[in-house]
Amino acid sequence: MSQMINIREKLIRINPSNSHKIEYSKTSVKSWHTDYSGSSYGNFSDLTDNSKEVLANTSKGLFYSATNG
């Protein structure tokens, strides 16, 4: 598992200074945009591209997104 994954033309990462925030970049890491910010899912620790969905391991369990993160 990883804290940053590449899905098609998009990089998705756990914010290095705030593990409650998921960010994405479509500009080869020139800029990051918030995709999710909050504590409902707990602290994000790992991301995995499972081809049909993105899996996120958090302090509150395993969550998934079927819409590319």
How far apart, in Å, are the Cα atoms of 3 and each of 6, 32, 64? 11, 14, 15
Structure tokens at 13: 């990462």
pLDDT along the chain (69 residues), means of 10: 82 95 88 94 94 92 84
Give dist(CA 42, CA 14) in Å, integer: 12
Per-residue pLDDT at 30 = 83
Sketch the domain layout of the chain as residue ranges: 4-65
This prediction has a pTM of: 0.86
In eight-state DSSP terms, residue 32 is -
